[in-house]
Amino acid sequence: MEVLVALLLLAIGVLGYVALQLRAFDASAEAMQKSQAMVIMRALAENMRVNKTQINNYPVFVRSYSGFDATTPSPTNCFDSACSLNQVAQFDAYQTARNANQLGIHLTMDNCPGVTATMTMRRQCIYAFWGKTQPVIVTTGSGSSATTSADVSSCMGNDGVYVNGASCLMMEAY
């Protein structure tokens, strides 16, 4: 009887250790995803700093590739041909979306929480989503007056606080 009780206690201890290992694995995978998202967002922010004259076009281009998949048409390849600064911005957004997609990350770009209309063009936020958390692109208006924005409420609220359990990151880009 004592041996059975000892085996039961040992089994409970081993199960606890296995649960701890599974949690550590999940935390490690989440840290890797965050790290990869940060590298991708930082690269896009640096590209924006290099191409400052097109900084107002980057949010539009990034949002246009937020639903990136294998069928997404590529813009002019600026590695192989001369491009205008506008084409470089579009190619940067495409390359970033493609790289993110290969890692299971979706990107979008929109106004940062708490940004007023006078600050909009100087301060934008890049959002990276993965797992079950996804951005929603919202189009308002129609025709040439249509504008798109990103609904990032699955990631964070208007106060800039992350939603509990969301798999996303936000980075401010100037």
Mean pLDDT by 10 residues, the chain (174 residues): 92 92 90 94 94 90 84 89 94 94 91 67 83 77 66 82 88 86
Alpha-carbon dihedral angle through residues 62, 63, 65, 68, given to the nearest 10 degrees: 130
Residue 25 and residue 6: Cα distance in Å, rounded?
A: 29
Overall number of domains in the chain: 1
Question: Would you state the pLDDT for residue 10?
Answer: 93
Q: Is 10 helix (H, G, I), strand (E, B) or coil?
A: helix
Pick from 109, 19, 11: which is nearest to 60 by CA?
109
Task: Dig out the tokens for 99 from the structure.
Answer: 């790289």
Segments forming the whole domain that contains residue 65: 1-173
Strands 136-140 and 124-130: unpaired
- Retrieve residue 41's tokens: 């967002």
Q: Which long-range contacts (CB under 8 A, 24 or more apart) does 157-166 make?
A: 157/113, 158/113, 158/114, 159/113, 159/114, 160/112, 160/113, 160/114, 163/133, 166/133
pLDDT, position 148: 67
